[in-house]
């Protein structure tokens, strides 16, 4: 279904209306066989969606998530980093036990 959504976004970003015909043409151009039922469902669903607003909301969330850290988050990262080596040591110990089984 993701390829159909991408096709709709291509149509939208090029200033063309999102239509069954347009999505079908893009899917065919990509070398895939279009599923008419999925295309009809997507076009019907997107009729009630303000795509520009949806993109703005999605961009904000995606942009804020990876780089956003506060002082409280930094403390959490420090706590996590102090516990990570212990977990790694346990994993290394497990590996040694497994290697002794095989030889």
Nearest to 8 by CA among 33, 62, 45, 37: 45
- Residue 85 corresponds to which tokens in the numbers above? 């080596």
| pLDDT in 10s for each residue of the chain, 103 residues | 899 999 999 999 999 999 999 999 999 999 999 999 999 999 999 999 999 998 888 866 555 555 555 555 555 555 454 544 454 444 455 555 555 555 5
What pLDDT score was predicted for residue 56? 87
pTM, 2 dp: 0.56
Question: So what's the pLDDT on residue 58?
Answer: 81
């Amino acid at each position: 279904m993701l390829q159909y959504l991408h096709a709709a976004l291509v149509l939208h970003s090029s200033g063309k209306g999102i239509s069954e015909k347009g999505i079908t043409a893009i899917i065919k151009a990509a070398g895939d066989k279009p599923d008419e039922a999925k295309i009809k469902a997507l076009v019907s669903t997107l009729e009630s969606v303000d795509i520009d607003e949806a993109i703005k909301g999605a961009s904000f969330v995606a942009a804020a998530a990876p780089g956003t850290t506060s002082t409280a988050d930094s403390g959490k990262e420090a706590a996590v980093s102090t516990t990570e080596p212990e977990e790694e040591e346990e994993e290394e110990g497990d590996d040694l036990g497994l290697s002794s089984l095989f030889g």
